Structure 1
Amino acid sequence: MRLLRYSINVTLDGSCHHEAGLPPDEESMRFWTEDMQAADAVLFGRVTYQMMEEAWRKPTVGPWPDWMDEWEVPFAEAIDAVHKHVVSSTLDAVTWNAELVRGDLGAAVQQLKNEPGDGPLAVGGVTLPLALADLGLIDEYVFVVHPVLAGHGPTLLAGLRERIQLELVDRRDFRSGACALSFRPATPTA
């Protein structure tokens, strides 16, 4: 069974708006590239899917966009290539190596987790991961914590119905002061 891993950038005050933290640098992009390359597939809600497609889909002709630095290309190539599952009740169709996920969210995601694979099923975004956490389906949480107080934006897992106790399983510090913290749900003690 594949693990479902939720990964996201977050500020010290919990903002997970995509522009609230530090700007990407070569070290952070290497981290996110490795994360994407390790995934068997990704799971996005409609908003995140459309935002990522707009930013990272390879143009049908010509090179990558001029705004993209050379050190961002490996991430762009990784996310462009990975298979995507998109949870949406409003989209009629998706492209970009993607397929729609419909019906009961818990059953559909459990079915994706049960599919064979060597790497995790990665999920990103804000709204979809909240629903998946409430369903108890997330097996690993990776928070790249930025040394920033944003004071605005959506906050990490706001509205979670029940407390989830986590245990730290890995930590990676970046020169920028950001820190990648990996957690798994704690095993209940008897």
Structure 2
Amino acid sequence: MRKLRYSINVALDGCCHHEAGVAPDAESMRWWAAEMGRADGLLFGRVTYGMMESVWRRPADGAWPGWMEAWQVPFAETIDRAKKYVVSGTLSDVDWNAELVRGDLEQAVRRLKQEPGEGLFVGGVTLPLALADRGLIDEYTFLVQPVLAGHGPTLLAGLRERIELELVDRHDFRSGVVGLRYRPAGRG
């Protein structure tokens, strides 16, 4: 059974807007490439899929854009080639190595988890809340940014029930970011 892993950047005040944290650097991009590399499928909602595709999809000519630094390329290549599953009731089709996930969310994700492989990665805000509410997330990884954002969407806002977690790993970045990996208590 594949594990479903949720990973996201979060400010100290719980804000998880993608521009609220510390700017990515070579160390954090290596970490994110490895994190996504632990999965053989990326599960995104419509908004996260669109945001990621607009930045990290390899252009048709095969050359990465001029704004991209060399240390960003391994992350770009990892996300570009990954299999993607997009949960959306409004999109009629997707590409970028992706397929639409429709119907009952819990049944669809349980089916994906039953497929052979290393694991699934989920990012974003809205979809992970729905997955956490259904007890489908096997691992939570938060890159805690040393900032107070003061605004924006907050981590798992509206969660119906408290989820007890146990710390399984910690990584301190030179930038002051702290990576914390948890699993739901009792799921050794």
**Fold shared by both chains (TM-score > 0.5):** yes
Q: Which residue of 2 aligns with 1:2?
A: 2
Q: Which runs of 4+ in 1 moved over 3 A?
A: none
Matched with 2:153 is: 154
Q: Distance in 2 between matches of 1:152 and 1:158?
A: 13
Q: What count of residue pairs does the alignment treat as equivalent?
A: 187
Map 1:26-175 → 2, pairs under 5 A: 26-117=26-117, 119-175=118-174
In structure 2, distance between residues paired with 1:62 and 1:122? 25
Q: For 2:66, what is the secondary structure of its paired residue? A: coil
Q: So what's the TM-score if we normalise by structure 1?
A: 0.97
The residue matched to 2:132 in structure 1 has which SS? Answer: helix
Q: What letter corresponds to residue 131 of structure 1 in structure 2? A: A
Amino acid at match of 2:134: L
Which letter does structure 2 place at the counterpart of 1:35?
E
Instruction: Indicate the SS of the match to 1:54.
Output: helix
Q: Using the alignment, how far apart are the partners of 2:166 and 2:51 within structure 1?
A: 31
Q: Deviations over 1:164-183 (max 9, x none)?
A: 00000000000000011000
SS at match of 2:151: coil
1:94 positional shift: 0.1
Q: Tell me the residue number matched to 1:187.
A: 186
Matched, 1:14 2:14: yes
| Residue identity matched to 2:76 | A
Unpaired runs of 5+ residues, structure 2, are none
Deviations 1:91-129 (A, max 9, x none): 000000000000000000000000001x21000000000
Cα shift readout 1:42-74 (whole Å, capped 9, x = no counterpart): 000000000000000000015211111110000
Partner Cα separation in structure 2 for residue 69 and residue 46 of structure 1: 27
SS in structure 2 of the partner of residue 153 of structure 1: coil
Identity across aligned pairs (percent)? 71
Say what the alpha-carbon RMSD is for the aligned residues: 0.9
What TM-score do you get using the length of structure 2 for normalisation?
0.98
Counterpart secondary structure, 1:28: helix
